[in-house]
Structure 1
Amino acid sequence: MKKKYINSLWILSALFFISSVQAQTKITIENTEDAPVISKHIYGHFSEHLGRSIYDGLYVGEDSPIPNTDGVRNDLIKALKDLQIPNLRWPGGCFADTYHWRDGIGPQEDRPTIVNQWWGDVTEDNSFGTHNFLNLCEVLGAEPYLAGNVGSGTVQEFSNWIQYVNHDAGSPMAKLRKENGKEESWDVKFWGVGNEPWGCGGNMDAEFYADIYKQYATFLTSWDKDAKLYRIASGPSGDDYHWMEVLMKEIPPELMEGVALHSYSVIDWNDKGPASDFTEDHYFATMTEALKMEEYITKHSAIMDKYDPQKKVGLIVDEWGGWYDVEEGTNPGFLYQQNTVRDAMIAGATLNIFNNHSERVYMANLAQAVNVLQAVALTQGEQMILTPTYHVMKMYTVHHEAQLLPVNFESPDYTYNGKSLPAVSISASKKDGKVAISLVNIDSKKENEVELDLGELDVEGMTATILTSDKLQDHNTFENAEKITPEEFKDYKLRRGKLQVTIPPFSVIVLESE
Structure 2
Amino acid sequence: MKIPSLAGAVLLAAVTAVLPSSSGASAAAAADTRIDIDVRAGLATVSDTAVGVNHAIWDSQLGTPAVSDLLGDAGVKMLRYPGGSYADIYHWRDHTAPGGYVAPNTDFDTFMAGARRTGAQPMIIANYGTGTAQEAADWVRYANVTKGYGAAYWTIGNENYGNGHYGSAWEADDHADKSPKEYAAHVVAYSEAMKAVDPTIKVGAVLTMPGNWPDGIIGAGDTGTWNQEVLTRAGSAIDFVDVHWYPGGSTPAETLTRTAQIQDAVHLLRQQINQYAGTGASRIGISMTETNVEVGRNTQPGALFLADVYSGLLAQGVFTVQWWNVHNGLGTVSEVAGETDYGDYGLLSSGNCNADNTVCQPALNTPFAPYHALSLVGDLARAGDRFVGTGSDNGLVSAHAVRRTNGDLAVLLVNKDPDAAHTVSLNYQGFTPASGAPTVASFGNGDDAVSTAAVGSASTQTLEPYSVSLVTVRSGRTESGSPKAPGQPSATVTDRTATISWPAGAAGLKYEVFRQNAGVGEQLGETTGTSLTIGNLQPGRRYTINVLARDGSGRQSQASPPLTFTTGTPATSTCTVKFRDVNDWGNGYVGSIDITNNATAPINGWTLAFTWPTDWQSVSSGWSATWSQEGRTVRVTSDAALAAGAAASVGFVGNYSGPNVLPTVFTLNGTVCTGA
TM-score by length of structure 1 reads 0.70
Residue 277 (structure 1) aligns with: none
Q: Determine the C-alpha separation between the residues in 1 that align with 2:328 and 2:88.
A: 22
Q: Determine the C-alpha separation between the residues in 1 that align with 2:448 and 2:321.
A: 25
5+ long unaligned stretches in structure 1: 1-19, 59-71, 105-111, 117-122, 169-183, 269-281, 325-336, 415-422, 475-482
Instruction: Please point out which of 61, 71, 79 is paired with 1:80.
Output: 71
Q: Determine the C-alpha separation between the residues in 2 that align with 1:159 and 1:405.
A: 37
Paired residues of 2:159 and 2:206 also in contact (CA < 8 A): yes
Q: Determine the C-alpha separation between the residues in 1 that align with 2:34 and 2:425.
A: 6
Residue 67 (structure 1) aligns with: none
The structure with the greater share of residues assigned to strand is 2
For residue 158 of structure 2, give the secondary structure of its aligned residue in structure 1. coil
Residue 37 (structure 1) aligns with: 45
For residue 339 of structure 1, give the secondary structure of its aligned residue in structure 2. coil
Residue 231 (structure 1) aligns with: 203
Cα distance per residue 1:383-408 (max 9 Å; x no partner): 43112211111122232214324224
Paired residues of 1:40 and 1:401 also in contact (CA < 8 A): yes
The structure with the greater share of residues assigned to helix is 1
Instruction: Please point out which of 385, 389, 406 is paired with 1:403.
Output: 385
Residue 626 (structure 2) aligns with: none
Q: Determine the C-alpha separation between the residues in 2 that align with 1:394 and 1:142.
A: 14
Instruction: Please point out which of 251, 271, 287 is paired with 2:234.
Output: 251
Matches within 5 A, 1:80-479: 80-104=71-95, 114-116=98-100, 123-124=101-102, 127-168=105-146, 184-199=147-162, 200-202=171-173, 204-221=178-195, 223-224=197-198, 228-239=200-211, 240=215, 242-253=225-236, 255-267=237-249, 282-307=251-276, 311-323=282-294, 339-358=298-317, 361-372=318-329, 373-380=344-351, 383-398=364-379, 399-414=381-396, 423-461=397-435, 462-469=438-445, 474=446
Q: Does 1:28 align with 2:37?
A: yes
Paired residues of 1:46 and 1:89 also in contact (CA < 8 A): yes
Residue 488 (structure 1) aligns with: 452
5+ long unaligned stretches in structure 2: 1-28, 163-170, 217-224, 330-343, 353-362, 475-676
The 1:351/1:77 distance shift into structure 2, 3 A limit, reads same
Could you tell me which amino acid in structure 1 is paired with residue 184 of structure 2?
Answer: A
Q: Determine the C-alpha separation between the residues in 2 that align with 1:89 and 1:342.
A: 24
Could you tell me which amino acid in structure 2 is paired with residue 252 of structure 1?
Answer: G
Cα distance per residue 1:244-296 (max 9 Å; x no partner): 3333333233x11110111114336xxxxxxxxxxxxx212322345433432
TM-score by length of structure 2 reads 0.54
How far does residue 100 in structure 1 lie from its aligned partner after superposition?
Answer: 1.0
Could you tell me which amino acid in structure 2 is paired with residue 230 of structure 1?
Answer: K
Residue 331 (structure 1) aligns with: none
For residue 378 of structure 1, give the secondary structure of its aligned residue in structure 2. coil
Could you tell me which amino acid in structure 2 is paired with residue 29 of structure 1?
Answer: D
How far does residue 512 in structure 1 lie from its aligned partner after superposition?
Answer: 0.8
Cα distance per residue 1:145-188 (max 9 Å; x no partner): 111111111111111111121224xxxxxxxxxxxxxxx42121
Q: Count residues in correspondence.
A: 395
The 1:113/1:354 distance shift into structure 2, 3 A limit, reads closer
Paired residues of 1:447 and 1:505 also in contact (CA < 8 A): yes
How far does residue 129 in structure 1 lie from its aligned partner after superposition?
Answer: 1.2
Paired residues of 2:39 and 2:403 also in contact (CA < 8 A): no
The alignment yields a C-alpha RMSD, in angstroms, of 2.8
Residue 107 (structure 1) aligns with: none
For residue 378 of structure 2, give the secondary structure of its aligned residue in structure 1. helix
Q: Determine the C-alpha separation between the residues in 1 that align with 2:456 and 2:102.
A: 52
Tell me which structure has the larger Cα radius of gyration.
2
